[in-house]
Structure 1
Amino acid sequence: MRMRPLTLAAASGAALLATGVLPASATGAPTTPASAQEGTVSAADLLAKVTSCQQISNGTYRTDAETPATIPVCGKNGAVFWKADMDIDCDGRRTANCNEDTDPWYQDDTAFHQSDGRPLAADELPYVVVPSSSGIWDYASAGIRGGGVVAVVHADQVEYAVVGDTGPTEIIGEASYATARALGIDPDPATGGTDSGVTYILFTNSQVSPIENHAAAITLGDRLAQQFLRSN
């Protein structure tokens, strides 16, 4: 039976208050992350739950075109995860930080769009790139969709993001300019990123609406992270 997407709107008021984070405003305006430790769940607690991998992908991914395929997608109760590098995605709306001059691989669109129909803004919204569906893994069949909540863990920091774009079918480990910046990773799309040490925990059957509301991603992400700790 296919589960209905868990949205912020569907969450009860009591559950939202239990997170200790105020619900997002109705405007859905994107906000710049104020801190890389978002919510109440620590990086250490999340990482303790993903020390072993029950592989759900049919194969493994490369972190870059020239590296060997060694990264599996792993399954847990309520989430899928992988451990990889972070390449910088600067696609979407043109801004001072993300455009043809700053990013050699720039594209003016993202796979998922914000509520007004425009592409996402990579330097404003923390989002994660998932590999396009292939024989290796089909993200949609695993309950992952645009706007799904992701806990991105780097060192002792947790940043909540959304699934915002899709990438090559054989490469994994990419997030938006805003995600990298919040985690203290160099966000330059041409020279930035980090070669390792990033864990991506994607909560299945979750969805933030509107997708561009980062405050809503924090609220829902914190609640799902607490649930993830309890169920694994």
Structure 2
Amino acid sequence: MRIRSLTVAAACGAALLAAGLLPAVASGVPDPPFAQEEPVGAAELLAKVASCDQVSNGLYRTDETSAATVPVCGARGAVFWTADMDIDCDGRRTAKCNEATDPWFLPDTAFHQSDGEPLRSDALPFVVVPGVSDIWDHFAAGVEGGAVAAVIHDDRLVYAVVGDTGPRRIIGEASYAAAEALGIDPDPATGGTASGVTYILFKGSRVSPIESHEAAVALGERLAREFVQSD
């Protein structure tokens, strides 16, 4: 009787499967895996910002003695610029970032961790935005502390947060950790690079807590995908 019951059950199951009333896994055929999109690459982002719709009221210098040549550009959901990279080692004192290693060291950053402490420049990738001026107001543009940024140099891409502000008429600066991740010499006194760094800041975004690089990467990857797919 047991053999007959199993035979009848199998026949009923086959009939239900044929009628579409049982899922495919009942027949031993697994569902196909869900397709997953690859993370956005540096080349895709650079292609999206190949042209500039200038949103700043003027141009920025990359240092005190250079000519003003760098505009802030706008795109749907982001602002961006291409400049040099100076090294910001401000914030919490560490073996790599202090008065002895950095002639311009300041023990604070414009934006703070969730515990109220300054950011740690040698551990957290972050970018520096120019202080508010008649050239450009990052707050009015929807870019505040903790906004997520994609920073690109050569074929390398790192996601960072907006972590500090700098001089009002100079642009192109990021933390020790951001430079290191991009393969740029992070020494605050002698490092950095003279050109070729693209900074893409996503408007209205905010990483919480600001000190979580993992959160910046997760949000950055999502916003980057939306950015390259936008019209």
The size of the alignment, in residue pairs, is 198
Amino acid paired to 1:230: Q
Normalised TM-score (structure 2) = 0.84
Q: Which of structure 1's runs of 4+ aligned residues deviate more than 6 A? A: none
Please give the alpha-carbon distance, in whole angstroms, between the structure 2 residues aligned to 1:162 and 1:126: 7
Cα deviation, 1:142-182, whole Å, max 9, x if unaligned, reads 00000000000110111000000000000000000000000
**How far 1:40 sits from its partner (Å)?**
1.1
Higher relative contact order structure (alpha carbons within 8 Å, sequence separation ≥ 6): 1
State the partner residue of 2:92: 93
State the partner residue of 1:84: 83
Contact 1:146 1:162 in 2 (8 A): yes
Q: 1:179 aligned to 2:178?
A: yes
> CA separation of 1:50/1:136 partners in 2, compared to 1, >3 Å: closer, same or farther?
same
Task: Classify the secondary structure of the residue corresponding to 1:40.
Answer: coil
Please give the alpha-carbon distance, in whole angstroms, between the structure 2 residues aligned to 1:108 and 1:157: 29
Q: 1:131 aligned to 2:130?
A: yes
**How far 1:128 sits from its partner (Å)?**
0.1
Please tell me the root mean square deviation across aligned C-alpha atoms, in Å: 1.4
Contact 1:126 1:214 in 2 (8 A): yes
State the partner residue of 1:15: none
Contact 1:19 1:222 in 2 (8 A): no
Please give the alpha-carbon distance, in whole angstroms, between the structure 1 residues aligned to 2:36 and 2:118: 30
Q: Give the alignment of 1:215-226 within 5 angstroms.
A: 215-226=214-225
Amino acid paired to 2:225: Q
State the partner residue of 1:140: 139
Normalised TM-score (structure 1) = 0.83
State the partner residue of 1:168: 167
State the partner residue of 2:228: 229
Task: Classify the secondary structure of the residue corresponding to 2:44.
Answer: helix
**How far 1:87 sits from its partner (Å)?**
0.2
Please give the alpha-carbon distance, in whole angstroms, between the structure 2 residues aligned to 1:40 and 1:193: 27
State the partner residue of 1:33: none
Please give the alpha-carbon distance, in whole angstroms, between the structure 2 residues aligned to 1:174 and 1:204: 19
Q: 1:150 aligned to 2:149?
A: yes
Relative to its length, the structure with more helix (as a share) is 2
Larger radius of gyration: 2
State the partner residue of 1:58: 57
Q: 1:207 aligned to 2:182?
A: no
State the partner residue of 1:23: none
Q: Which runs of 5+ in 1 are unaligned?
A: 1-17, 21-38
Amino acid paired to 1:131: P
Amino acid paired to 1:48: A
Q: Which runs of 5+ in 2 are unaligned?
A: 1-34
Please give the alpha-carbon distance, in whole angstroms, between the structure 1 residues aligned to 2:207 and 2:36: 16
Cα deviation, 1:87-142, whole Å, max 9, x if unaligned, reads 00000000000000000000000000000000000000000000000000000000
Amino acid paired to 1:102: T
Amino acid paired to 1:79: A
Amino acid paired to 2:114: S
Please give the alpha-carbon distance, in whole angstroms, between the structure 2 residues aligned to 1:208 and 1:111: 15
State the partner residue of 2:107: 108
Please give the alpha-carbon distance, in whole angstroms, between the structure 2 residues aligned to 1:128 and 1:19: 30
**How far 1:19 sits from its partner (Å)?**
8.0
Cα deviation, 1:65-101, whole Å, max 9, x if unaligned, reads 0100000000000000000000000000000000000
Task: Classify the secondary structure of the residue corresponding to 2:186.
Answer: coil
